[in-house]
Amino acid sequence: MFKIYKKIAPFVLTVLLAVLACCYAAPIGIVPDIFNQKQYIEKFIVEGLADKGLITSFEIRDEYCVFMLKQGGMYLDFESDIRYYTETDDYVIETIEEHSDSIKIIDKRSSGPLSVFIAPIKAYFGRILTVVALIIIWATIEFCYDQHLTKKKEKEEKENQQNDKTGAVLTSNGKGGYTEVESSKVTFADVAGMEEEKRELSEIVDFLKNREKYETMGAKIPRGVLLTGKPGTGKTLLGKAVAGEANVSFISMSGSDFGDRYVGVGAKRVRELFDEARKSAPCIIFIDEIDAIGSKRSGNDDSASKDDNRTLNQLLTELDGFEERDNIIIFGATNMIDNLDPALLRPGRIDRIIYVSLPNVLEREAILKVHSKNKLLMDDISLRRLAQNTAGFSGAELENLLNEAAILAVRNCHEVITQVDLDEALKKVTMGLEKSNRVISKKEMEITANHEAGHTIVSLLMPTQSDVKEVSIVPRGNAGGYTWHNGEEGIGYKSKTEFKDKLAVLMAGRAAEEIVIGDISTGASQDIKVATQIAKNMVLLYGMDSDVGPISVAELENERCGILGEQKRDDISSRITNILKEAEKTARELINKHRSLLDQLVRLLLEKETVSGEELKKLYSEYISAVNAK
């Protein structure tokens, strides 16, 4: 009924107002042609009533006339067109007085200077009230209809929250409370790549949807899942996708939210977290950076360590306290799995560990397609080529790359994102912002050219090293120049030979400076830092030194078992130093042997400042051909 009224009410109201306007449109003081007032007075009032002696009194007011008749003392109320016409009213009085002296005439018309306005106002008052009444009725119905719609909408929302409370996203406010925000409705379709990870998590989705199927078989779904991998690989996105696929609530909290300067607050917030989860079940609890709360317990006696241990103990207790019908699964995310307490990772608490790896080339292309949907890309841009040039990039880094390209396109006043914008954005996120306006002396340019040429030549001569994409003496970031290698695909295995060749490439810049210029500069500081870390890992973690042996020295030190003495530590330091010296020696020998190739590249760098990978391949091929010809 309300819907029909909503459609026709404005039209009905408009028609009524139009009818009223037409009925009362005659101006004051003008007698309509279709009705002769004086004829009406003479024929009806005078001859029909007064002459026959039926009128006992006649009362005339501003807005109407009243006749008192003899028949039963009844009143006849004449509201014809004779009212509020002053000249006509006077004519009526005169005519009645001429025909009958017995009729009592009562004149109640307004007098004074305002009488001209009072009469029309009184006459129109009833009509105005009619219009106002129509408007009030229409407004009242409108108000009632809007209230009806509001209550109906609130009822539907309440039913949706009760029947579909799943899908809600609750985030911690850092004080033990949780704020519900609109669900992002992320599903596996929104997660590009990671097919193995999604396949592993699909069992949990199926369990949350069809629990009885697993209980009939006697199977138990994992109580906890740990997502581990490098930053930016999409661990949080996977957690949301599981909640979206299963259409359950998603309670998100960071590990740092449990900490507080007051003792005992962390354990209290763990209890509040699981209480909220039980109210929202079925649901997923997602703890980001779980290592902040689940790191290995220490035996320190300070209050901070004790409080951290108390918080972890409360988390372990809550995990053990899951009832079979709780329908709560805890997800944790970390990139520091080695720091987690073993008690947290045992079956029955965190039952399943999923390693989220960096995307391969096909997955990178899929991720780029997702993040480029709202970007204006030039038609000739190949996302496959960009994916091939971004080996080792995480999903977050790929998103940032496209965003930087869009910013550069706006800065360069381009209508769309061009390949030049993408290439520049790739350099920017990989090596830093170009400092093209920095004033560089000729000596500094020569040092930089020899330094980068040393890296490049040794890299070209090492079969285990990836191709050089570009070499430049234009400053970027904190570096005076750069040698840009192609990213490496694979699962991360490195051999001892690869490490030694990498160290030779890192030490080649310093060796080239010393050979050509006869001195060394501070430009190799970052190279030495990276090389030292690689050599240290070779000895301490990977057991790649024959003298130290296949033993994890770092693990022994962490366990404080006292196996290593001062002499052994000195020997380890000597072995790390010897590995670096051997790498520098290898680099120096290669540069001396291929000095002419180095000099050609230096001249080319001083001339062009930036040399592409294609130009390097051409230079190297010509050099090898010349050497073989000799």
Question: Which pLDDT belongs to residue 102?
Answer: 63
Q: Are residues 377 and 511 in the same domain?
A: no
In which order are the strands placed within the sheet that holds 75-78?
Answer: 75-78, 65-69, 55-60, 104-107
Residue with structure tokens 């004051």?
Answer: 28
Q: Are residues 282 and 393 in the same domain?
A: no
Q: Which one of 303, 329, 356 terminates a domain?
A: 356
Catalytic position from the list 452, 470, 514, 584? 452
CATH number of residue 97's parent domain: 3.30.720.210
Q: Are residues 352 and 389 in the same domain?
A: no
Q: Are residues 346 and 379 in the same domain?
A: no
Question: Which pLDDT belongs to residue 137?
Answer: 76
Q: Are residues 351 and 391 in the same domain?
A: no
Q: Are residues 523 and 607 in the same domain?
A: yes
Q: Which one of 89, 124, 159 terminates a domain?
A: 124
Question: Which pLDDT belongs to residue 30?
Answer: 38
Tell how strand 178-181 and strand 169-172 pair up: antiparallel
Q: Are residues 50 and 116 in the same domain?
A: yes
In a domain, 57, yes or no: yes
Q: What are phi and psi of 320, to 5 degrees?
A: -70, -20
Contact 513, 602 (CB under 8 A): no
Q: How far apart are CA 578 and CA 547, in angstroms?
A: 12
In a domain, 134, yes or no: no
Query: Which structural domain range is residue 528 located in?
Result: 442-629
Q: How far apart are CA 81 and CA 29, in angstroms?
A: 10
Residues in the chain: 630
Nearest to 206 by CA among 282, 285, 278: 282
Q: Which one of 387, 402, 431 terminates a domain?
A: 431
Residue with structure tokens 């480029």?
Answer: 372
Q: Are residues 426 and 456 in the same domain?
A: no
Question: Which pLDDT belongs to residue 481?
Answer: 86
Over the chain (630 residues), the average pLDDT of each successive run of 10 is: 58 65 47 48 63 65 61 50 47 67 65 53 60 74 74 67 51 56 68 84 83 80 85 86 84 74 70 81 84 76 70 82 70 87 84 87 88 87 86 88 92 90 87 73 88 92 87 84 77 82 93 91 89 90 81 62 65 88 94 92 90 90 84
Q: Is 323 among the catalytic positions? A: no
Q: Are residues 47 and 184 in the same domain?
A: no
Q: Are residues 453 and 485 in the same domain?
A: yes
Q: Are residues 393 and 329 in the same domain?
A: no
Coil, helix or strand at residue 519: coil
In a domain, 144, yes or no: no
Q: Are residues 478 and 625 in the same domain?
A: yes
Coil, helix or strand at residue 78: strand
Contact 409, 377 (CB under 8 A): no
Number of other residues whose CB lies within 10 A of the CB of residue 221: 17
Nearest to 226 by CA among 356, 314, 352, 316: 352
Q: How far apart are CA 52 and CA 62, in angstroms?
A: 26
Question: Which pLDDT belongs to residue 423?
Answer: 86
In a domain, 130, yes or no: no
CATH number of residue 387's parent domain: 1.10.8.60
Which residues, 6+ apart, have CB-to-CB distance to 546 below 8 Å?
Answer: none
Query: Token digits for 327?
Result: 């329908």
Q: How far apart are CA 587 and CA 601, in angstroms?
A: 16
CATH number of residue 272's parent domain: 3.40.50.300
In a domain, 520, yes or no: yes
Query: Token digits for 601?
Result: 């590249």
Is pTM beyond 0.75 here? no
In a domain, 210, yes or no: yes
In a domain, 469, yes or no: yes
CATH number of residue 450's parent domain: 1.20.58.760
In a domain, 77, yes or no: yes
What is the number of domains present in the chain?
4
Q: How far apart are CA 92 and CA 107, in angstroms?
A: 11
